[in-house]
A and B are shown apart, each in its own frame.
Chain A
Amino acid sequence: MKNKKTFRSNLITYLLVIVAFVICQLVLEGAIPGVKMTRSLKGQLVPICVYIVMAVSLNLTVGISGELSLGHAGFMSVGAFSGIVMSSWLVSAFQFENETIRLIIAMVTGGVFAGAAGVLIGIPVLRLRGDYLAIVTLAFGEIIRNVMNCLYFSLDGKALYIGFNNPSLPGKLLVNGPAGATGVDKISTFTMGFAPIIFTLFVVLNLINSRSGRAIMAIRDNRIAAESMGINVTKYKMMAFVTSAVLAGMAGALYGLNYSTVVASKFRFDTSILVLVFVVLGGIGNIRGSIIAATVLTILPEVLRAFSDYRMLVYAIVLIVVMLATNSPLLRNLVERIRPKKKAEAKGGDAV
């Protein structure tokens, strides 16, 4: 019965994303009369895909694995720059112009490099706990940003040159240290942005409902008990952390190839926090919630344009009020009184 329930719940999540995608496509093509997207909203479509992937992958670390990570944007940054370099190298070395395949290869590359960074960072980070773990992920995010600011890449035919703190490289400069990557081919599209979302959902939802996923959640709920049951704590923590990093790297590549100029300072601490906000507002450990929160909160500043200068202020107030409201005992009691049946059912379900 439990399995049937998770199956149905997962199905709803997939359907939600697919239906939203189809509606967006129909609106974009003008198939629905009277409904039109503004230009600024159209510009947000790829970022929404990116942030959904980011939020779901961070939810794997924060919600499922129970480790507060404040440096998720670092992986995004690694993915973005490696993806950009890969996509340009394909053109320069092989005159390979097919945008879709280039984007896919770039996303895979971004994922691989971010995953490698995840392994490197995970080894020291996962030895710590609680707030200390959070501050070290923050530190790693800042280190990645600083190092990216010192990296130079240039392309000369098939050759790819890398310079550290050294801009005098042969060929055409592609990534120029603090000035970032310039003249990037904008090959990301909304349609291709949809693919990593489905891939992420597939990976994360299957992981959660697998033996490994249950091990990860067991460690989250009680590390000592899990360890004494013979669960390899380091292995499963690393599994969640690195999977999350790989997915963030993919999102990063998609993001990087959506703009003609990308600078490393875009992937600051603020971006990590922004994604964390999506996760917490959507509900920690709730994948569907992350998707909805990422979408709504990315669109919200655009919708609030009517408030012009006040929009970010209103955004901040909305954030605080939502947090206060969802955590206030008064409201919780009210919800419980309205839906007592469901609550009891959920409790019974957990006990089974």
Chain B
Amino acid sequence: MISFLSHLVNGISLGSVYAIIALGYSMVYGIAKMLNFAHGDVIMVGAYITFCATQYWGLPPVVSVLAAMLVCTVLGVVIERLAYKPLRAATSLAVLITAIGMSYFLQNAAQLIWGANPKSFPSVITLPTLSLMGGQLLISGETMVTVLANVIIMIVLTIFTSKTKMGRAMRAVSEDKGAAELMGINVNATISLTFAIGSALAAVAGVLLCSAYPALMPTTGSMPGIKAFTAAVFGGIGSIPGALVGGLLLGVIEILGKAYISMELGDAFVFAVLIIVLLVKPTGLLGKKVHEKV
């Protein structure tokens, strides 16, 4: 029972990281209708910037994370402007390949700058470990901060997209780009804003991910990126609550599957569940059903 609870806590912690990454995927997909494969690598850049800020420049953790968010925001917007914006009228496959090229670029640039060897990422979270049930169930500071960050981000984003003018503009663009433009919404600025928010979240996710799993390499972001993308589809791509549900479920399934079924088959188990969900609900758990017009 206790071991189950502790696996569950680990799963929720990992799932929260997936949820934050999945948000970036989901928002960008909702607005630009593209799979931004470079998103996973923005996570890695965020983690490296935090690593440099704390280790080499001696900045305090909070400032380092803010610096990472700033760098990633700029990076996300620049990537969008240089690589994706010229392709807005192109086929989705062309954009996909460009995003993959961007992903290669970021990984190899990181390898040139920071080297291919894994760096040991020092946890930026100094909260003490919480001990429950007479010391049987331990919840680390990283877990608490991750879950808390996830909850705050979800609440803020939900309020942002439903109450503010910019958030409403984002939803309008994701529903109908042409009509939004006619209503006087600056579509380009809105898309840039989406990339900015998604990339800033990626930086946060990178720091949280590396605090829990401290090996930092140029390819650190790719596998969590793919899983978070899976989580976004799982929950229903384009939906904020969907990213939350998908991410959490995916994290819990992965950890429980690894603990109780097979260590090697943990990932296979995650993807198998995804396939089953998509077969039953083809647009994800919380996705809207799109009717086909003839």
Contacts and interface: CB of A to CB of B under 8 A. Distances in A.
Interface residues of A, number: 46
A324 interface: yes
Contacts of B91: 284, 327
B97 A277 contact: yes
A317 interface: yes
Given A320-B105, A323-B94, A327-B94, A132 B86 contact: no
A329 B264 contact: no
B127 interface: no
A219 to B, nearest CB: 14
A136 B278 contact: yes
A327 B271 CA distance: 34
A280 B262 contact: no
Contacts, number: 117
B19 interface: no
Interface in B221-253: 226, 229-230, 233, 237
A143 interface: yes
A124 B279 contact: yes
B104 A315 contact: yes
Given A146-B264, A280-B93, A328-B86, A139 B271 contact: yes
A136 B102 CA distance: 23
A317 B100 CA distance: 11
A149 B263 CA distance: 11
B278 A320 contact: no
B104 A312 contact: yes
A127 B262 CA distance: 29
Contacts of B179: none
Given A132-B233, A309-B112, A147 B268 contact: yes
A165 B104 contact: no
B282 A132 contact: yes
Interface string A257-288: 00000000000010001001100110010000
Contacts of B272: 139, 143
B123 interface: no
B101 A316 contact: yes
B226 A269 contact: yes
A68 interface: yes
Contact of B108 (A132, A224, A313): A313
A330 to B, nearest CB: 10
A268 B129 CA distance: 37
A82 to B, nearest CB: 19
A62 B265 CA distance: 29
Contacts of B105: 313, 316-317, 320
Contacts of B262: 150, 165
A129 B233 CA distance: 13
B283 A142 contact: no
DSSP class of A's interface residues: helix, strand, loop or mixed? helix
B147 to A, nearest CB: 26
A319 B229 CA distance: 23
Contacts of B94: 280, 323, 326-327
Contacts of A313: 105, 108-109, 112
B275 interface: yes
B292 A224 contact: yes
B274 interface: yes
Given A315-B104, A316-B105, A319-B101, A68 B93 contact: yes
A139 B86 contact: no
Contact of A327 (B86, B268, B283): B86
Interface string A147-168: 1011000000000000001000
A265 B63 CA distance: 38
Majority-rule SS of B interface residues? helix
Contacts of A62: 93
A128 interface: yes
Contacts of A139: 230, 271-272, 274-275
A245 interface: no
Contacts of A326: 94
Contacts of B108: 312-313, 315-316
A136 B267 CA distance: 14
A343 to B, nearest CB: 19
Interface in A295-311: 309-310
Given A128-B278, A146-B265, A280 B97 contact: yes
Nearest to A142: B271
Interface string A113-131: 0000000000010011101
A323 B226 contact: no
A124 B294 CA distance: 24
A150 B101 contact: no
B83 interface: yes
Interface in B92-121: 93-94, 96-98, 100-102, 104-105, 108-109, 111-112
Nearest to B233: A135
B132 interface: no
Given A132-B233, A132-B282, A147-B268, 10 more contacts: A124-B275, A124-B279, A131-B233, A132-B283, A136-B275, A138-B230, A142-B267, A143-B268, A281-B97, A316-B101
29 contacts: A127-B282, A128-B282, A131-B233, A132-B283, A135-B229, A139-B271, A139-B272, A140-B271, A143-B271, A146-B267, A146-B268, A149-B264, A165-B262, A165-B264, A269-B226, A276-B100, A313-B105, A313-B109, A315-B108, A316-B102, A316-B104, A316-B108, A319-B97, A320-B105, A323-B87, A324-B83, A324-B98, A327-B87, A327-B91
10 A-B pairs with the lowest CB-CB distances in the bound complex, closest first: A139-B271, A146-B268, A319-B101, A316-B105, A316-B104, A327-B90, A320-B101, A313-B108, A312-B108, A143-B268
Interface of A: 62, 68, 124, 127-129, 131-132, 134-136, 138-140, 142-143, 146-147, 149-150, 165, 177-178, 224, 269, 273, 276-277, 280-281, 284, 309-310, 312-313, 315-317, 319-320, 323-324, 326-329
